[in-house]
Amino acid sequence: MSMAADINSQPAATPRPTRRSGLGEAMRIRAYQMGVLLVIIAFWQVGLWAGWLKPFIYGTPLGVLQSFAAQLADGSLLRHFWVTGQEVVLGFVIGCALGSAGGLLLWLSPLWARILHPYMIALNGVPKIALAPLIIVWFGLGMESKIAIASIITFIVAFLQAYKGTQEIDPDLIRLMKSLGASPWQTFRTIVVPGSLPWIVSALRLNVGFALIGAVVGEYISAEAGLGYMVYYAGQLYDLNSVWVGIFSLMIMALLLEAIVARLERYLDLEH
Amino acid sequence: MSTAHPAVLTADHARVVYNEDTDRPVEAVRDITLELHRGEILALVGPSGCGKTTLFNAIAGLIPLQGGQVTVGGTKVEQATGHVGYMLQKDLLLPWRSVIDNITLGLEIRGCPRAEARVKAQDLIDRYGLSGFERSKPSGLSGGMRQRAALMRTLAFNPDVILLDEPFSALDFQTRILLQADVKRIIREEGRSVILITHDIGEAISMANRIVVLTNRPATVKSIYETPWGVEDVDPVAVRDRPEYQQLFSTIWQELELTPRH
């Protein structure tokens, strides 16, 4: 082998950093995370004892715990969690799937991309939640309308992000594919779809939040069940402890969904 | 010597104008007539922005000519069909694919069965020093190795003509010199016909059989030089010490009319 080969044979990139200290470090971080939570609760409780916070307006840690236990016992919490969970997941899946596919396919037709451009800007700018009352009217009071709200909002975000992803692909790559004699469909499959994946996945992350907002706001407007309904209803009754139970349940749902998306991201191996 | 080798590519009064239909047409290439012989490396040198890349795009069939014609392998170029292999300053390797799957890209587009494509790619990998990196992602390779992978991708689908558009200019000096030697050797061994765009006169002299000097935009052929070594297999590093190299370098340097642009 020539000298050239020897010089060039050193890989430039250092190996991917592995998790440095493994289990010990992870446990320590977890401990600190629990610590932060305990500090917040402690301040809350001290504030109540000192009389700075009124239990009627802020709820109490113990009251939240009692409310949580009671609602868990009578099954209402799980029922609300299940209803909202279904709305969020179905809305998320429908919206992300159709939106990502649509945004990608638009690459195939620059003409339609130009035609739709002002609409995309308008949809991007509008507070998407403003569509919620309309959708309730169209889809009724049941779960369908919440699924529809979550789908439509996540659709818009997924569509715009996927399309943006296709536009960020290096034009020289497209040129290379053309010079190879590739058809637009071949270029689409080989370059555009995989090249846009990071954008699509980042849209998934955003959409976990948007799907939750869509479902919960839908439930605020009108519903018969769900965590949003529960929070809204409890708020009307000044049952602040139940409001907190609802909010914490939504946070847990958000964390679960985030974890699923993170797992998907790792599966797709986006860190090249 | 021209008559001894059949031309694999000809440009006959090729002319490219951008925005021809508007009131501000831009003439990028005015009149290019040249021949690329089989197994030859032909270098195009010219002032930057003189229309070299435009000419490449026209040869690849990516943009239409407004006059004259280009033929590759005896067939008039009408559109991009994979008759030429392209290699740019950017390696354009797909970051989500392994090295071997990047090299098979051109074969894949042409519908070559996967197993067969992989055999061809593996053969190139083994012969030209990327063994052990087949399954690596491009991000794990050095700049020089990536460019070599890009060259293999170009060689793999066996195009009639290989177009190299400043393929070394993003590399550091040492890697560039060594890769020039490497690429020249590979191209010679494979018997490929190559047009090399470069603004580096030294690179042109040390790698090419013939050198076409282009004028400022709009590009026309100003003069054509044969390097003293022709097809003789000379080491592009050692050749820099020869007096003929120095002589040709200064001749072309003066030809280029490198007027400062303020």
Which residue has better confidence, B145 or A211?
A211
Are B38 and B53 within 8 A, CB to CB? no
| Average of per-residue pLDDT across A175-192 | 90
Does position A3 have pLDDT exceeding 70, yes or no? no
Please count the residue pairs, one from chain A and one from chain B, whose beta carbons lie less than 8 angstroms apart. 100
Helices (H), A12-142: 23-50, 55-58, 61-73, 76-105, 110-125, 132-139
Contact B80 A181 (CB under 8 A): yes
| Adjacent-strand bridge partners of B10 | B35, B71
CA B186 to chain centre: 13
For chain B, which residues lie within 8 Å of any Cβ of chain A, measuring from their own Cβ? 57, 60-62, 80-86, 88, 90, 92, 94-96, 105-106, 108-110, 128-129, 133, 136-145, 148, 157, 174-175, 178-179, 181-182, 185
Pick the CATH number of B1-83+159-262 from 2.60.450.10, 3.30.70.520, 3.40.50.1820, 3.40.50.300: 3.40.50.300
Closest by CA position to B193, among listed B224, B237, B161: B161
- Chain A contact set for B92 (CB, 8 A): 170, 172-173, 176
* pLDDT recorded at residue A39: 95
Q: Which chain A residue lies closest to B93 (C-alpha atoms)?
A: A173
Q: Residue B3 is which amino acid?
A: T
pLDDT tens digits for B94-129? 999 999 999 999 899 888 888 988 998 898 888 888
pLDDT tens digits for B204-231? 888 888 888 888 778 888 888 888 776 5
- Chain A contact set for B86 (CB, 8 A): 175-176, 179
Kindly report the length of chain B: 262
Q: What burial class does residue B181 get, using C-beta atoms within 10 Å of its C-beta: 0-12 exposed, 13-18 middle, 19+ buried?
A: buried
Contact B95 A3 (CB under 8 A): no
Q: Which chain A residue lies closest to B156 (C-alpha atoms)?
A: A180
Tell me which residue in A175, A182, A272 faces B95 most closely, judged by beta carbons.
Answer: A272
Tell me which residue in A3, A12, A269 faces B142 most closely, judged by beta carbons.
Answer: A12
Dihedral over alpha carbons B82, B88, B91, B96 (to 10 degrees): -40
Confidence at A111, pLDDT banded by 50, 70, 90: very high
The shortest C-alpha distance from B260 to chain A (Å) reads 29
* pLDDT recorded at residue A6: 42
Confidence at A20, pLDDT banded by 50, 70, 90: low
Residue B251 in tokens:
């001749």
- Chain A contact set for B63 (CB, 8 A): none
* pLDDT recorded at residue A2: 40
Q: Does any CB of chain B come closer than 8 Å to the CB of residue A12?
A: yes
* pLDDT recorded at residue A155: 94
Distance CA B142, CA B182 (A): 15
As a whole-number percent, the residues of chain B with pLDDT over 70 amount to: 94
Dmax (CA) for chain A in angstroms is: 82
Distance CA B16, CA B50 (A): 12
pLDDT tens digits for A140-149? 888 999 999 9
* pLDDT recorded at residue B75: 82
pLDDT tens digits for B173-192? 888 888 888 888 888 888 88
CA A166 to chain centre: 21
pLDDT tens digits for A218-234? 999 888 899 999 999 99
Domain ranges of chain A: 61-268
Distance CA B192, CA B163 (A): 11
Task: Pick the range with the lowest mean pLDDT from A188-197, B78-87, B234-243.
Answer: B234-243
Task: Pick the range with the lowest mean pLDDT from A11-15, A177-181, A261-265, B16-20.
Answer: A11-15
The shortest C-alpha distance from A65 to chain B (Å) reads 48
pLDDT tens digits for A78-109? 999 999 999 999 999 999 999 999 999 999 99
Task: Tell me which DSSP letter residue A14 carries.
Answer: P
- Chain B contact set for A197 (CB, 8 A): 96
E strands along B38-145, which residues?
41-45, 67-72, 75-76, 84-87
Confidence at A4, pLDDT banded by 50, 70, 90: very low
pLDDT tens digits for A42-75? 999 999 999 888 888 888 898 999 999 999 999 9
Contact B108 A190 (CB under 8 A): yes
Distance CA A144, CA A90 (A): 10
Prediction ipTM score: 0.81
Kindly report the length of chain A: 272
The shortest C-alpha distance from B255 to chain A (Å) reads 31
* pLDDT recorded at residue B28: 83
Confidence at A271, pLDDT banded by 50, 70, 90: low
Which residues numbered 195-224 in A keep a CB inside 8 Å of some CB on B? 195, 197
Which residues are within 8 A (CB) of B139 and not within 5 positions of it... i.e. 6 or more apart?
A: A13, A272, B95
Are B162 and B87 within 8 A, CB to CB? yes
Q: What are φ and ψ of residue B37, in 5° steps?
A: -85, 155
Are B74 and A172 within 8 A, CB to CB? no
* pLDDT recorded at residue B61: 84
Are A261 and A158 within 8 A, CB to CB? no
Contact B141 A3 (CB under 8 A): no
Residue A115: other Cβ atoms inside 10 A: 10
* pLDDT recorded at residue A11: 45
* pLDDT recorded at residue B218: 81
Does position A8 have pLDDT exceeding 80, yes or no? no
Q: What are φ and ψ of residue B107, in 5° steps?
A: -65, -40
Work out whether the CA dihedral A235, A238, A242, A248 comes out positive or negative.
positive
Which residue has better confidence, A192 or B261?
A192
Q: Which helix (H) or strand (E) holds B197?
A: strand B193-198
CATH of domain A61-268: 1.10.3720.10
Contact A179 B105 (CB under 8 A): no
Are B186 and B151 within 8 A, CB to CB? yes
Are B114 and B108 within 8 A, CB to CB? yes
* pLDDT recorded at residue B13: 86
Q: Residue A124 is which amino acid?
A: N
Helices (H), B61-200: 99-103, 105-109, 114-127, 143-156, 173-190
Confidence at A40, pLDDT banded by 50, 70, 90: very high
Place of tokens 């996540």: A154
- Chain A contact set for B57 (CB, 8 A): 175
Distance CA A213, CA A220 (A): 10
* pLDDT recorded at residue A266: 85
Q: Does any CB of chain B come closer than 8 Å to the CB of residue A168?
A: no
